[in-house]
Structure 1
């Protein structure tokens, strides 16, 4: 099979002869439609800022994925969205769906067969991944190609072993910025949304997990790349626990919207406790202001390990250092997006090797820890949107036996985001009660 199948690559005009038109499709790297646009990322080229000495233009928006110039071409294999041949697929997942999960899974299959895309609005811990297994199986069975993508590397890493376990005979590919594995053709791909820039009309189904997460949310380049990677007859499934209003408005005419208010274990979402903490920002360097935080940590540790979210790396590092003085070495750690040991620390927290783990918002979604309580320091800080707070609260009581996990919002001002997050969690719990009473 052609190793470029499903991919688009940038080639110079001199290299174009190596890709005959009977097998490859050629597209100009940039198109002039009153203004100049990049065909890979759809960015507007500001000519005076993106011009080389020889008068050739380049795109600065997507140059981290390789230089693309106005005198180059995008090349892809022809006929990628044509007829499919059915094949046998071994579905090896050993779990069992609940009644609600089964209903949602069947709807996803029906929507796909009716050529309709779907937004699945499902609470954190509802088992979204397991609910999409049947539709993945259906598409693979029909000879199609599936991509599961997320804006977050951590989410992709967590999805990979679960997908592999469910489809053990498939050659699942995992791609992200510095992943060890290079591209190879696969019927089942897991990747970050940035990797979509390398695909063209490749997939029959693209499932976007955490579609409202940074950096995809509000990023027109990544949104264009996603649509570009979908073959003309393909369908989308958006997964989210916290859909922004603009997304709901955007899809209401063209997507089916399915709601799942119940967690897999059928316990309600944990409602946050909003606790006043005057001068919380001084807890990292004032022993007096640290006391309240320390008392809460000790209280929560009676039942669970504790994940502490902080609004900045600097504040987090200071607070973690202050906390460490009260614990045995190795029981307290911190993690952020630039930490080279990030993956290792997350795994250690899963293995319960830390009593307390401090984090920025990078762990607000896509990771699962058992026996956990959560503290948000300064929940009124602007970095904590309604969606972020709902996701953070959703880290608690995701799996395992109930351990009296708590969600603490420390604040010195009750923001709209905090109020909306608490209200949305309570509303979902009410919907869940209604489903359970059926």
Structure 2
């Protein structure tokens, strides 16, 4: 879920407190009634309800393989308000005397989730764990941790939520994947929360081997911005010629004219600063900065960008997730670079149109050629919009 003013509306209403020693959720009202207290949008509510029913169902009686490993995938588009969908699950686990863990790739997300979980559950103890954190040995009703912290636990949680299982470090690391399994208590559930599930997960879901639910729409009920593909020179050539192609310049000017802030993504760290410099000569009135994983001032610049102090931020995939700006447009340069796969392009496009005040946004993929990843990313975004329309979740019908 996004942070700041672009995030979903706060949960409304209160829930009946249940004694933490309760042996089961049988003392609670029906799942449908409990979900109603959280002020979720229809698509969020359906997904949360499906996950809740899965968690509360008894373990399958059949001894076949995969029965002991209970996993549930929530495939939610970027900006769907995924944190809020977890609230009914955390409540259910607490009510039945269990503990929950939310594991997320980045420390800044841990720090952002902490106050949101505390506000939703003032009666629960919440512990945050990341490299260098202070609450190292405390046990909480809800633990929010960076993915690497999974290695510390054994059968400790009735619910383990893996946020962004498609991202580094979880994706492609069998040790962390095993650690997630080991951290889950017998009869517990691992919930996988992703906007761009890896192919392997999608195939399992398609074949009925992985229980799942989709959230094809953002909480504000408007379609996702569909990327426009622009044929332009490579970044290297733009920098060499000290020239921004006219179509790209016009696109950036339109964004500035409408008062938007702009993410400009480049595949190479070395190109970020020179590109910011070149854009500065074209748009001298705009505050333009660059940042990357190699930038010691990254946090300060991102905070300034969030506060509106930077109009154009040239960056790398380090900001493809987790940063939410209410009125923002996205430009991906060298969109045909091998580094930008389908998931990466979908995530970068997902920075735009996240707030109810500015749900349209604009996304432009610039490259010398259209490659498979760009076509697949556009196809995935269009498919989600079609699904949202078919399911009746969209407020504006224009796709």
Same fold (TM over 0.5): yes
Provide the rounded CA distance (Å) in 2 between the counterparts of 1:158 and 1:338. Answer: 23
Structure 1 residue 288 and structure 2 residue 243: aligned? yes
Q: Hey, what does 2:21 align to over in structure 1? A: 85
Alignment of 1:70-219 (within 5 A): 85-86=21-22, 96-114=39-57, 115=59, 116-179=70-133, 181-219=135-173
Bigger mean CA offset, 423-432 vs 176-185: 176-185
More strand by share: 1
Quote the residue 1:61 is aligned against: none
TM-aligned CA deviation for residue 322 of structure 1? 2.5
Q: Distance in 1 between matches of 2:38 and 2:239?
A: 44
2:355 corresponds to 1:417: no
Equivalent runs, 1:291-330 vs 2, <5 Å: 293-303=248-258, 304-325=260-281
Q: TM-score, normalised by structure 1?
A: 0.74
Bigger relative contact order (CA 8 A; separation at least 6) = 2
Range moving further from structure 2, 253-262 or 208-217: 253-262
3-state SS of paired residue (2:103): strand
Change in 2 beyond 3 A, CA 1:414/1:163: same
Distance 1:180 1:332, change over 3 A: farther
More helix by share: 2
**Greater than 6 Å deviation, 4+ residue runs:** none
Classify the secondary structure of the residue corresponding to 1:174: strand
| Partner of residue 212, structure 2 | 257
Higher alpha-carbon Rg: 1
Which deviates more from structure 2 when the two are superposed, residues 187-196 or residues 156-165?
156-165
Q: Which one is further off, 181-190 or 367-376? A: 181-190
Deviation track 1:377-435 (CA, whole Å, cap 9, x = no partner) reads 11100111001111111111111312641001001011100000001111111111111
- Partner SS, residue 257 of structure 2: coil
1:364 aligns with 2:320: yes
The offset of 1:330, in angstroms, is 8.8
Paired residues in the alignment total: 353
- Cα distance change of structure 1 residues 406 and 385 upon mapping to structure 2, 3 Å threshold: same
Q: 1:205, 1:230 within 8 Å by CA — same for their partners in 2?
A: yes
CA distance in 1, matches of 2:103, 2:315: 23
1:291/1:245 CA distance change after superposition, 3 Å: same
- Whole-Å Cα distance in 2 between the matches of residues 296 and 437 of structure 1? 30
The secondary structure found in structure 1 opposite 2:243 is: helix
RMSD (Å), alpha carbons: 2.6
- Stretch moving more, 334-343 or 122-131: 334-343
Contact 1:147 1:190 (8 Å CA) reproduced: yes
Whole-angstrom distance in 2 between the partners of 1:343 and 1:183 = 27
Is 1:230–2:173 an aligned residue pair? no
For structure 1, the 5+ residue unaligned runs are 1-83
CA distance in 1, matches of 2:385, 2:140: 39
The worse-fitting range, judged by mean Cα deviation, of 263-272 and 248-257 is 248-257
**8 Å contact 2:345–2:374 — kept in the other structure?**
yes
Question: How does 1:35-50 map onto structure 2 within 5 Å?
Answer: none
Gaps of 5+ in 2: 1-19, 29-33, 60-69, 395-399
